[in-house]
Amino acid sequence: MKKFLLISIILLSIINSGCIRKNDHDKEIYKDSTLIKDLQQTPIINEILFVGMLGKKSGLCKYNFSSKEYSEYWKNDKEEVVELSYSPYKKSAFMLTASQSGKKGAFPFINNIKLYSLNLDSDSVAYIEHIGVGLQVFSTWTSDTSFQVYVHIMDVTTAKYVEQNIKTYNASGKKLFDENKKYYLAKEGFPQFPIIKKNLISLNKKYSIFAVDSVQTQIYLIDNTKNNEKAAITKQNQKLNRVEWSDDGKVLVFSTIDITPGNETLYYTEPNTSKLFVYSLSDRKILKIFDGGGLKNFMLNGNLLIFDDGFKKKAKIFIYDFNLGQMIDSIKISGGCGLKNIPTIPDYGA
């Protein structure tokens, strides 16, 4: 009976761990998770990397904005790309790969995790290190020059604790720190991944956005030049996920998401898991909403909004020009594609 209770606690904790970095707690005002960018503008790039199925494994592809064509960039028949991660100003990038991932019985697993650095100037891929095996892996940029990888590893002998390994690297891939923490499940619960910081303040500091979670999530815009004048943007059943501001100060782009076990549409043919909003700061109105399935990972490149939509084989990438107000291209690959990985529906079954 005790063993059954312990496994139930572990499973619930893993589910919460997978969701908490995307959805903060109810009735929370998003202020402490603010990421403030400086006045440096994000460079406009002519090519981006993305993840797509190349044969039987996911690899890297490169898309050219001028030619509107993509090509194969990196693949390995024994490794799949788990995550591609650009730095905030798109100067550097890393990718995590694994030989295999999935579930064994009730628990997730990921084997032979490796880290690579991507040199965006020379189009080269450099192997950094073999990270190992674990239950889960997650990566995040804490700044434009600092990158972290989190790995959760189960104590296989007694299943009484989970080890959280945190590796910190600089932008070129040099390891700066390697930290290990033990979490005793009965006392401390399952370790959590860090909440991804949101760009809640515009580049020119004129505006800020915040959300209040209750029965629904109410999202507001604050005009810092007009005595913090508050304007309601939208009210949603999904929670605020990511926020970006155009460099010209005219457009706010943000996404909402709900991939929690309580979302009954997760296993529908057409799930409803995320929305992406394009909002005019001068006109105080929503210009465009993209909704439906997927995670809506996105990035801005000048006046272009690049985002993924859908899950697994249906996952695609779209390119929308918010100055023209129209879709200018899409990327579709047999087997699916996405900006960070090929989005998958979370498996909450035991």
Which one-letter DSSP state was computed for residue 8? Answer: H
pLDDT tier at 38, thresholds 50, 70, 90:
low
How far apart CA 79 and CA 85 sit, in angstroms, is 17
CA distance 23 to 237: 12
Instruction: State the Cα–Cα distance between residues 105 and 95, nearest whole angstrom.
Output: 28
The backbone torsions φ and ψ at residue 265, rounded to the nearest 5 degrees and listed phi first, read -85, -5
In this prediction, residue 166 carries a pLDDT of 97
pLDDT at 111: 96
Give the 3-state secondary structure of residue 260: coil
Provide the 3-class DSSP secondary structure of residue 186.
helix
- End-to-end CA distance of the chain: give it in Å, rounded: 17
Whole-number pLDDT of residue 37 = 52
- pLDDT of 40 reads 56
Condensed to tens digits (0 to 9), the pLDDT of residues 175-206 reads: 999 999 999 988 888 888 888 888 999 999 99
Q: Which tens digits make up the pLDDT trace of 9-35?
A: 455 455 555 443 333 333 344 344 455
pTM for this entry: 0.89
Examine the pLDDT at 41 and tell me if it is beyond 80. Answer: no
CATH topology classification for 31-48+56-73+197-350: Lipocalin (2.40.128)
Where are the domains positioned within the chain? 2-23+78-188, 31-48+56-73+197-350
Distance CA(61)–CA(219), nearest Å, equals 35
Could you tell me the sign of the dihedral formed by the alpha carbons of 76, 77, 78, 79, in that order?
positive
Q: Which of helix, strand or coil describes residue 4?
A: helix
Interatomic CA distance for residues 62 and 36, integer angstroms:
29
**Model confidence over 122-154: pLDDT tens digits?**
889 999 999 999 999 999 999 999 999 999 998
> Confidence class of residue 113 from pLDDT cuts 50, 70 and 90?
very high
How many angstroms separate the CA atoms of 256 and 239, rounded? 5
The amino acid that residue 169 corresponds to is Y
- In three-state secondary structure terms, 132 is strand
